[in-house]
Chains A and B, each alone.
Chain A
Amino acid sequence: MIFNEEQSMLKDTARAFIEENAPVDNLRKLRAAPEGPAYDLELWQQLVELGIPAVALPEEYGGLGFGFMGLAAVLGETGRNLVATPLVSSVALAASLIKLVGTEEQKSRWLPALASGELTATVAVQEGRHYNPKSIETKWANGALSGSKTMVMDAQEAGLVLVIAKNASGALCVLALNSLEDVEQERYMLMDGRKFSDLHFRDLAGVEELGEGEQVASVEQALDIATIALAAEMIGGAESLLERTVYHLNEREQFDVKLATFQALQHRCAEMYCQLELARSAVLSAFTRLDQGRNIAKAASQAKALANECYQHISNEAVQMHGGMGITDELDIGLYLKRSRVCNQLFGDANFHRKRYALQIGI
């Protein structure tokens, strides 16, 4: 439920590094180059040198074994400054998928390379307008892969693309592609300045299947890990927005007084803080369960639903309380606003997770 000494140190290191090297302006540069990379490759190399991709992986695969809580600490910091990294796509999702689903040979082939940062990977999950792994239609049958994926993160940069599909008997399975050469792709930038890809597979042969036999529970577990990783990033973003808003209200004067002295604004900020700490507690609790080796299906849905609402609400309030400046592109507030909406859709919106939570508790 709280960071231990190692994890706190990691958090401090990440914060110091990001404040020094990754101002929010970095995102503006990435946004100005729609054809350019999805994240700053040089910055990522520096994070690799700090050992960040290895944080959560077990030592037997070249990891540091700090647990996922350590990764949560770092994600909170990248979220605060809207730092684009493959931490969610590669470190949280792809590595977990390989670890949970892969054969021993596949794990030893890929995990050490992911831990050392030599390799990044991504996972193609989503189809259609809303995230819902249950309705996946991409098919893996008779040695051929067919179907379409959307909202694939960091695909162009990835050296390994994993695809979640359904096999002939309708069970979830995972395919590994070492290259996207024979895959039809459309790459686009979304409103948050990040780049995503659509991938189309037409009877693609020569792909490798991850693991052996039925893997449904493991696939869902890996998706849940990515879900809470993104939620941790979102909490960081919401926290930064609230701090920026309170700072602004303490600076800005109208009617000869600081805006912060108005009770109407004080109470709204206090409510935001309550919501933030509730959502943060849910996220930390999910990571704690994960590191304890417990099931996180319910916890992940609770954490993501609350993080979605929290980030959405705080970003709306932040825009409003910054007044006219809040709707200018000059201020960073709008970047957070847009990021929150993209995060909402990735790995499931509040509606999806509320229903999934309801199912988990038996109503």
Chain B
Amino acid sequence: MSDLETFRAETRAWLEAHCPESQRQPILKREQIWGGRNRVFPSADAQAWFEAMADRGWTAPSWPKEYGGGGLSIEEAKVLQQEMARLKCRPPLYEIGIWMFGPALLAYGNEAQKQEHIPKIVKGEIRWAQGYSEPGAGSDLASLKTKAEDMGDHFLVNGTKIWTTNAHKADWIFCLVRTDPSAPKQQGISFLLIDMASEGVSVSPIELISGESEFCQTFFDNVKVPKENLVGELNKGWDVAKELLKHERTLMSSMESMSEKEDFSLLELAQQYLSLNSEGTIEDGEIRSRIAQLLMEMEAFEQLNERMFYQYKAKQVDQRLGMLLKHIGTKQLQRKDELILEVLGNKALSWTAPTANQQEHIVTRNWAFNKSHTIAGGTSEIQLNIIAKRALGMAS
């Protein structure tokens, strides 16, 4: 047996022994475990499953062992992912620190910062938020104005960040701040870590078209931040941000698997809500054809990801392919949401009516919320600019 097959057998046995039956059911939003000082476990089973995984560092399987990660190779991490999918194990931890911030800190942080922050992310002890966009700096992120002045022994931060996801529940926030107002745009920006409990930090949630308020505006009013919270060099924060953005875009392209939302299968909803003929196929040929079309394209997207995995393994990475993921994935997700609405008909329209069952209710809220996916993390228009210029080499 190859090492990888031994690892697979051991992993399978371990998961079977440690993942309680209740943690192998589709997860509801209220049952998700997010990190943080104030984290709550929805059940004893959920806590046991989370702790078993966190102890092994498998909440961050491929991070180095010295910082509490799982220390797995990319092949082993994929095996773990496959085995978890096979048993339908729930993700043990939902956390921006795992998905985006951790990888960037591992790449750019100094030793003390990694020792301080990475283990707490793995163990789900600290919940992170992201402070990038500002009311005046969206797609043109580099025009951001929140400033951090050097006061000798600390930075003094003033300004505001918007679309700070779950900032009202976060313990820490990583921010892009202007440290040199006289330098050209990207060159005067630094990457700073701020404790949300600091004096002068306040948060105000923003109500969205989905009725939820997970996006916030965060205000910084004369906030004192220790010098050691600067990640990377002063005025070189843009490099860290770019590294982090790569992880965010990869993440957003696969929102279906990583989403904090409940996921619904278009195929199953179609079979449940549409009239079928005697052979079990959808009677209405027009909608059947559009569903098949989207499912073919979504399968191709999985195949694209698989291709990239094998390229990575063979060290033959085609960098251009990574630039496509966010745009393709988010566009497909929205097309799926639209088709689901169409399949449900007027069952998808209720907002507060008591007639709506839970599934119909969530599907509709997801549809509204997922409009954010083609905007957040770099709009689709920005993605297309990047593809045209960097992947295709079109003149600018």
- Do A and B come together as binding partners? yes
Q: Which residues of A contact B (CB under 8 A)?
A: 1-2, 242, 246, 249-250, 258, 260-261, 263, 265-267, 269-271, 273-274, 277-279, 281-282, 284-285, 302, 305-306, 351, 354-355, 357-359, 361-363
Asked if B324 contacts A363 (CB within 8 A), the reply is: no
Residues of B within 8 A of A273 (CB): 320, 324, 387, 391-392
Asked if A1 contacts B391 (CB within 8 A), the reply is: no
Asked if A271 contacts B291 (CB within 8 A), the reply is: no
Identify which of B297, B310, B321, B394 contacts A306 (C-beta below 8 A). B297
Shortest distance in angstroms between B268's beta carbon and chain A's nearest beta carbon? 10
Nearest chain A residue, comparing its CB with the CB of B391: A273
Residues of A within 8 A of B288 (CB): 358, 363
- Which of A250, A278, A354 has the most CB atoms of chain B within a 10 A radius of its CB? A278
Residues of B within 8 A of A359 (CB): 281
Once bound together, how far apart are the Cα atoms of A195 and B282, in whole Å?
Answer: 40
Asked if A354 contacts B304 (CB within 8 A), the reply is: no
Asked if A363 contacts B291 (CB within 8 A), the reply is: yes
Q: Residue B38 at the A interface, CB < 8 A?
A: no
Nearest chain A residue, comparing its CB with the CB of B396: A261
Asked if B392 contacts A246 (CB within 8 A), the reply is: yes
CB contacts under 8 Å to A, within B321-367, are: 321, 324, 327-328
Q: Residue B37 at the A interface, CB < 8 A?
A: no
- Which of A2, A246, A260, A362 has the most CB atoms of chain B within a 10 A radius of its CB? A2
Additional 17 contacts, C-beta under 8 A, given A266-B389, A355-B289, A362-B280: A2-B307, A249-B394, A250-B393, A265-B394, A267-B388, A269-B388, A274-B324, A278-B297, A278-B303, A278-B304, A281-B304, A284-B303, A305-B293, A351-B289, A358-B282, A362-B281, A363-B271
Once bound together, how far apart are the Cα atoms of A258 and B309, in whole Å?
Answer: 36
Q: Residue B3 at the A interface, CB < 8 A?
A: no
Residues of A within 8 A of B289 (CB): 351, 354-355, 358
A284-B307, A363-B267, A363-B281 known; A355-B321 Cβ under 8 A:
no
Asked if B316 contacts A2 (CB within 8 A), the reply is: yes
Asked if B271 contacts A2 (CB within 8 A), the reply is: no
Residues of A within 8 A of B314 (CB): 2
Asked if B295 contacts A361 (CB within 8 A), the reply is: yes
Nearest chain A residue, comparing its CB with the CB of B307: A1
Identify which of A269, A305, A361 contacts B392 (C-beta below 8 A). A269
Residues of A within 8 A of B296 (CB): 282, 302, 305-306, 354, 357
Q: Which residues of B contact A (CB under 8 A)?
A: 267, 270-271, 280-282, 288-289, 291-293, 295-297, 299-301, 303-304, 306-307, 309-311, 314, 316, 320-321, 324, 327-328, 381, 383-385, 387-389, 391-396
Nearest chain B residue, comparing its CB with the CB of A363: B282
A246-B392, A358-B288 known; A1-B303 Cβ under 8 A:
yes
Shortest distance in angstroms between B282's beta carbon and chain A's nearest beta carbon? 5
Interface of B, helix, strand, loop or mixed by DSSP: helix
Asked if B291 contacts A266 (CB within 8 A), the reply is: no
Asked if B384 contacts A266 (CB within 8 A), the reply is: yes
Asked if B303 contacts A282 (CB within 8 A), the reply is: yes
Once bound together, how far apart are the Cα atoms of A273 and B381, in whole Å?
Answer: 15
Once bound together, how far apart are the Cα atoms of A266 and B306, in whole Å?
Answer: 27
Asked if B306 contacts A1 (CB within 8 A), the reply is: yes
Asked if B270 contacts A363 (CB within 8 A), the reply is: yes
Identify which of A2, A271, A284 contacts B384 (C-beta below 8 A). A271
Asked if A278 contacts B385 (CB within 8 A), the reply is: no
Once bound together, how far apart are the Cα atoms of A242 and B272, in whole Å?
Answer: 41
Which are the 9 A-B pairs with shortest beta-carbon distances?
A: A266-B388, A270-B387, A358-B292, A281-B303, A281-B304, A260-B394, A278-B300, A260-B395, A285-B303
Residues of A within 8 A of B307 (CB): 1-2, 281, 284-285
A363-B270, A363-B282 known; A258-B328 Cβ under 8 A:
no
Shortest distance in angstroms between B178's beta carbon and chain A's nearest beta carbon? 28
Shortest distance in angstroms between A120's beta carbon and chain B's nearest beta carbon? 32
A274-B324, A362-B280 known; A1-B300 Cβ under 8 A:
no
Once bound together, how far apart are the Cα atoms of A363 and B270, in whole Å?
Answer: 8
Asked if B267 contacts A361 (CB within 8 A), the reply is: yes
Residues of A within 8 A of B393 (CB): 246, 250
Once bound together, how far apart are the Cα atoms of A302 and B296, in whole Å?
Answer: 6
Residues of B within 8 A of A354 (CB): 289, 292-293, 296
Shortest distance in angstroms between A267's beta carbon and chain B's nearest beta carbon? 4
Nearest chain B residue, comparing its CB with the CB of A267: B384
Asked if A246 contacts B303 (CB within 8 A), the reply is: no
Shortest distance in angstroms between A174's beta carbon and chain B's nearest beta carbon? 28
Residues of B within 8 A of A266 (CB): 384-385, 388-389, 394
A277-B321, A355-B289, A358-B289 known; A250-B387 Cβ under 8 A:
no
Nearest chain B residue, comparing its CB with the CB of A350: B293
Q: List 7 A-B contacts (CB under 8 A).
A: A1-B306, A2-B314, A273-B320, A281-B303, A357-B295, A358-B282, A363-B281
Residues of B within 8 A of A249 (CB): 394-395
Once bound together, how far apart are the Cα atoms of A358 and B387, in whole Å?
Answer: 32
Nearest chain A residue, comparing its CB with the CB of B394: A260
Once bound together, how far apart are the Cα atoms of A278 and B301, in whole Å?
Answer: 6
Residues of A within 8 A of B297 (CB): 278, 306
A2-B314, A258-B395 known; A267-B381 Cβ under 8 A:
yes
Identify which of B311, B328, B381, B395 contacts A274 (C-beta below 8 A). B328
Shortest distance in angstroms between A306's beta carbon and chain B's nearest beta carbon? 6
Nearest chain A residue, comparing its CB with the CB of B313: A2
- Which of B289, B314, B388 has the most CB atoms of chain A within a 10 A radius of its CB? B388
Identify which of A261, A279, A305 contacts B395 (C-beta below 8 A). A261
A1-B303, A282-B303, A355-B289 known; A270-B311 Cβ under 8 A:
no
